[in-house]
């Protein structure tokens, strides 16, 4: 259970004074549901308000605080602003502008003849001074001094968020210190509660911000260190394969050096009683499936079962077909289980799995549901690791008699500086070579003004396919906004326009389709019945159609680098030449230009990941927020690059030398884990 000392921070945010149902909604849009969320909603900058007794042209461009008296109002026609003519004590005039509101709204805020304290940026429009959407208070209210600026949602102001943060900090207890004393002194960091107070009072306080970022990074590293230590101390099962099944494989190619090296690393891990905990990073097309197959065969050679967990039904069934083809002729029984399997088929699979008749099971989350039992599960392979949190992995591991070995795979290249942050509990292998015969994907950037040319090029591509020269194509629709509904509307519209040109050879797939419908469309595309697949980003991961050699990505400038690279990886999966057309909008930021230029320049996913981090700065680390992983809200990537190794070393020091969680500093660290809700560490606290 969470320590009682933290309960005031984890109360609902509606327990704060001034937070009713109306205010709770915009707070929820900001992710602020509890008191602790308000405390951790840090300001991003500040405004220095200059107090003035009278208006002065010299203050244009500054944020001032001044007492003004409204005199009359002027409303514009249409959607123009309402202007309130106001005057200072000396009779100097300024216009106070409100956009989107009626004159009645302005009169209610600023009644004629009633003096108000007004604050805002003083600007000049033509010959007149003006302040747009000023903040208002009573004549004696002090608006002067430095004021923090917060990320906002409609209906909120920075002053209001500052007031909520102040209430939250007032409820924050004085917590025992979890940072190693020498490190804290060397860095010059304040205590935890003092850091919260200081950063909300002065957003430029670098030491306070750094201290809070370190706390979050340290909590993350400690949780993963505990997972690793717990895994290492558990006695699993050594899997020593005799090679008989692997020797039977008839591969049409020689594994790359990176594949051979990684297979040796995995074989060495599996031979130990301590359960393997390894992450396999491999760019699109680098051959992760073969490595996974070899690991699963080692488990079967040792008389045990293996399971492979995929994030989607499409990917699970694709893995099933790929492995079944790869292992043709081997005495290995493979089965697939997803949420779609019902009735007798499902029952037969469950019975065969429990009896040991099935050697390798592939599926979605369905493979670790309560009704699913294994005779002797000893190896778990998790594909697209970033889609699963630690909790899901632990549920699957609970299906084994003894802790199973775990191989996690991801095709999303991760910058080296961030691998430690997300996978610090794991050993890491990288497939940094591409199989021979794979040609680089030719990438071109085209303006949306030439969309007709793109459609014509698609027509030629499909015509060549009829003559046995070309292939199939993907058309990915633009990410209009963070909304699945808008994505779907864009995809449906594009599919209709392409069907008008190419007829029934155009298919559509999106995330809101029923699994059976989605599978049917994908099967038709894989079989070549469909020539063009219009899709949202549902095809980002795992779809494998070697004959698809063209991909068009509309409004490519709206995607992150990592996501663009994943989408591009849907083509180039055969031996022939493949092309990726990035259709850009007309208005491009410098960052968008740099992204698209890099995509045109390189196919190296690991380099792209490093550049993505550099270009995004404090943005999200992987380009899109991934489910299953705890987001960092206090530590920016720049801070993490500076603090990660230090936090990693301190976490290991605490666990290995300073008495672990039982010692005095360890007890404080327990509080830290609950404060930042690092579920892996909390789960281990509950079990151990």
HEC profile for 145-156? EEEEECCCCCCC
Residue 25, sorted as left (phi over 0), alpha (psi -120 to 50) or beta, turns out to be alpha
Buried b (16+ CB within 10 A) or exposed e, 270-279: beeeebbbbb
**Domain 244-431 class?**
alpha beta
Contact 187, 614 (CB under 8 A): no
| Cβ-based neighbour number of residue 497 at 10 Å | 13
pLDDT of 18 reads 94
- What pLDDT does residue 623 have? 29
DSSP letter, residue 482: S
What DSSP character marks residue 220? H
Please give the distance of CA 460 from its chain centroid, rounded to a whole number: 37
Q: Mention every residue, 6+ apart, whose C-beta is less than 8 A from residue 238.
A: 270, 271, 272, 273
The helix/strand/coil state of 67 is strand
> What does the pLDDT average to over 50-69?
94
* pLDDT > 70 fraction of the chain, expressed in percent and rounded: 88
Q: Which CATH superfamily is domain 442-602 in?
A: P-loop containing nucleotide triphosphate hydrolases (3.40.50.300)
For residue 453, pLDDT beyond 60: yes
Nearest C-alpha neighbor of 73 from the set 84, 65, 63? 84
pLDDT in tens, 457-475: 999 999 876 555 558 999 9
Indicate the domain borders of the chain: 47-149, 244-431, 442-602
pLDDT of residue 97 exceeding 80: yes
- Tell me, yes or no, if the two domains 47-149 and 442-602 fold the same way: no
Identify the pLDDT of residue 420.
66
Residue 626: the pLDDT is 32
Backbone dihedral angles phi then psi of residue 147, each to the nearest 5 degrees: -125, 130
C-alpha dihedral sign at 411, 412, 413, 418: negative
Structure tokens at 416: 């080296």
The CATH code that applies to domain 47-149 is 2.40.50.140
In angstroms, the Cα distances linking 241 to 249, 296, 299, 353, 668 are 14, 10, 7, 21, 45
Report the 10 Å Cβ neighbour count for 584: 21
Average pLDDT, the chain: 86
**384 has a pLDDT exceeding 70:** yes
Q: With left for phi above 0 and alpha for psi between -120 and 50, is residue 292 left, alpha or beta?
A: alpha
Alpha helices in 249-342 (DSSP H): 257-270, 288-301, 313-326
Percent of all residues in the chain with a pLDDT value above 90, rounded to a whole number: 51
Give residue-wise pLDDT tens across range 170-194: 999 999 999 999 999 999 999 999 9
Taking residues 682-687, report their average pLDDT. Answer: 54
| Rounded to 5°, angle at Cα 677 from 674 and 681 | 75
Q: What angle do CA 371, 326, 280 make, to 5 degrees?
A: 70
User: Is 396 or 451 the better-scoring residue by pLDDT?
Assistant: 451
pLDDT number for residue 264: 97
Contact 147, 162 (CB under 8 A): yes
pLDDT at residue 645 in the model: 86
pLDDT at 540: 54
**Residue 417: predicted pLDDT:** 61
Q: What is each CA distance from 204 to 4, 149, 165, 166, 172, in whole angstroms?
A: 33, 11, 17, 17, 22
Indicate if the pLDDT at residue 541 is higher than 70: no
Phi, psi dihedral angles at 474 (to 5 degrees): -100, 145
Half-sphere exposure of 240 (CA within 13 A, CB side): 4
The pLDDT value recorded for residue 176 is: 95
Cα gap 571→554, rounded to integer Å: 16
Using CA atoms, how far apart are residues 336 and 327, in angstroms rounded to an integer? 15
- Largest Cα–Cα separation, the chain: 96
Q: Which residue has the higher pLDDT, 143 or 272?
A: 272
- Return the pLDDT at 109: 87
Which string of b and e fits 323-333 if b means at least 16 CB within 10 Å?
Answer: beebbeebebb
pLDDT, tens digit, 9 for 90 and up, residues 354-373: 999 999 999 988 888 888 99
CA distance 624 to 631: 11
Q: What is the mean pLDDT of residues 193-211?
A: 95
Tell whether the model's pLDDT for residue 618 goes beyond 60. no
Asked if 300 and 291 touch (Cβ cutoff 8 Å), the reply is no
Q: Are 62 and 50 in contact (CB under 8 A)?
A: yes
Q: How far apart are CA 385 and CA 45, in angstroms?
A: 35
- The CA-to-CA distance between both ends of the chain, in Å, stands at 13
682 confidence band (pLDDT: 50, 70, 90): low
Radius of gyration over every alpha carbon of the chain, rounded to an integer in angstroms: 30
| pLDDT above 90 (res 661) | no
Comparing 242-251, 428-437, 590-599, the range with the smallest average pLDDT is 428-437
User: 305-336 pLDDT, tens per residue?
Assistant: 999 998 878 788 889 999 999 999 999 999 99
pLDDT tens digits for range 270-313: 999 988 989 899 887 788 999 999 999 999 999 999 999 988 78
Is pLDDT above 60 for 75? yes
Residue 480's φ and ψ, nearest 5 degrees, are -65, -45
DSSP state of 273: S
What pLDDT does 481 receive?
43
The model's pTM: 0.66
Q: Determine the pLDDT at residue 333.
A: 97
Kindly state the average pLDDT of the residues 631-649.
83
Between CA 623 and CA 431, with CA 558 as vertex, the angle to 5 degrees is 40
Q: Point out the least confidently predicted range of 35-49, 224-238, 307-321.
A: 224-238
Sort 684 into a burial class: Cβ within 10 Å, 0-12 / 13-18 / 19+. Answer: buried
Least confident residue range of 119-128, 317-326, 409-418, 526-535: 409-418
């Amino acid at each position: 259970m969470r320590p009682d000392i933290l309960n005031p921070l984890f109360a609902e945010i509606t327990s704060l004074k001034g937070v009713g149902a109306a205010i709770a909604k915009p707070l929820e849009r900001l992710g602020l549901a509890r008191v602790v969320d308000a405390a951790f909603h840090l300001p991003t900058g500040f405004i220095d308000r200059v107090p003035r007794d009278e208006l002065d042209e010299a203050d244009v461009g500054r944020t001032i605080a001044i007492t003004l008296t409204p005199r009359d109002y002027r409303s514009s026609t249409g959607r123009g602003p309402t202007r309130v003519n106001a005057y200072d004590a000396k009779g100097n005039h300024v216009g106070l502008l409100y956009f989107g509101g009626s004159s009645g709204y302005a009169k209610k805020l600023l009644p004629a003849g009633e003096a108000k304290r007004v604050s805002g940026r003083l600007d000049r429009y033509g010959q007149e001074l003006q302040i747009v959407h000023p903040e208002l208070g009573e004549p004696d209210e002090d608006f002067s001094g430095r004021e923090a600026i917060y990320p906002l949602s409609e209906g909120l102001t920075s002053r209001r968020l500052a007031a909520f943060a102040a209430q939250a900090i007032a409820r924050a207890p004085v917590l025992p210190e979890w940072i190693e004393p020498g490190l804290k002194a060397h860095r010059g960091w304040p205590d935890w509660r003092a850091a919260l107070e200081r950063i909300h009072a002065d957003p430029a306080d670098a030491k306070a911000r750094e201290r809070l970022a370190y706390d979050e990074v340290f909590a993350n590293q400690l949780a993963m260190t505990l997972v690793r230590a717990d895994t290492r101390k558990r006695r699993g099962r050594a899997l020593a394969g005799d090679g008989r099944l692997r020797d039977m494989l008839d591969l049409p190619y020689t594994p790359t050096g990176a594949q051979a090296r990684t297979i040796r690393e995995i074989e060495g891990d599996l031979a130990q009683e301590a359960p393997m905990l390894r992450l396999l990073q491999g760019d699109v097309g680098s051959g992760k499936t073969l490595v996974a197959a070899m690991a699963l065969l080692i488990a079967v050679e040792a008389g045990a079962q293996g399971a492979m967990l995929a994030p989607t039904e499409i990917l699970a069934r694709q893995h099933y077909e790929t492995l079944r083809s790869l292992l043709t002729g081997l005495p290995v029984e493979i089965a697939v289980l997803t949420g779609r399997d019902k009735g007798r088929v499902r029952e037969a699979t469950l019975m065969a799995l429990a009896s040991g008749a099935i050697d390798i099971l592939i599926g979605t989350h369905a493979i670790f549901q309560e009704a699913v039992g294994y005779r002797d599960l000893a190896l778990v392979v998790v594909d697209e690791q970033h889609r699963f949190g630690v909790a899901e992995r632990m549920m699957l591991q609970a299906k084994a008699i003894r802790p199973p070995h775990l191989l996690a795979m991801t095709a999303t290249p991760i910058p080296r500086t961030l691998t430690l942050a997300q996978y610090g509990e794991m050993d890491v292998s990288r497939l940094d070579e591409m199989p021979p015969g794979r040609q680089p994907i030719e990438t071109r950037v085209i303006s949306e003004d030439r969309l007709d040319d793109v459609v014509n090029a698609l027509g030629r591509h499909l015509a060549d396919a009829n003559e046995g020269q070309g292939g199939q194509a993907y058309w990915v629709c633009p990410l209009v906004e963070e909304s699945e509904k808008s994505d779907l509307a864009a995809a449906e519209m594009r599919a209709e326009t392409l069907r008008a040109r190419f007829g029934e050879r155009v298919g559509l797939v999106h995330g809101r389709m029923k699994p059976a419908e989605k599978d049917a469309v994908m099967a038709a595309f894989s079989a070549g019945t469909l020539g063009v697949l219009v899709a949202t980003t549902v095809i980002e991961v795992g779809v494998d159609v070697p004959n698809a050699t063209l991909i068009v990505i509309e409004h490519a400038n709206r995607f992150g680098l990592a996501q663009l690279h994943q989408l591009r990886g849907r083509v180039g999966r055969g031996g022939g030449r493949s092309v990726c057309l990035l259709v850009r909008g007309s208005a491009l930021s410098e960052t968008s230009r740099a992204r698209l230029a890099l995509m045109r320049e390189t196919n190296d996913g690991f380099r792209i990941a490093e550049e993505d981090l550099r270009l995004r700065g404090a943005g999200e680390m992987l380009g899109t927020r991934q489910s299953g992983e705890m987001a960092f809200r206090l530590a920016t990537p720049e801070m993490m690059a500076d603090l990660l190794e230090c936090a990693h070393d301190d976490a290991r020091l605490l666990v290995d030398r300073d008495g672990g969680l039982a010692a005095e500093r360890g007890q404080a660290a327990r509080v830290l884990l609950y404060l930042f809700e690092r579920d892996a560490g909390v789960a281990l606290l509950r079990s151990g």
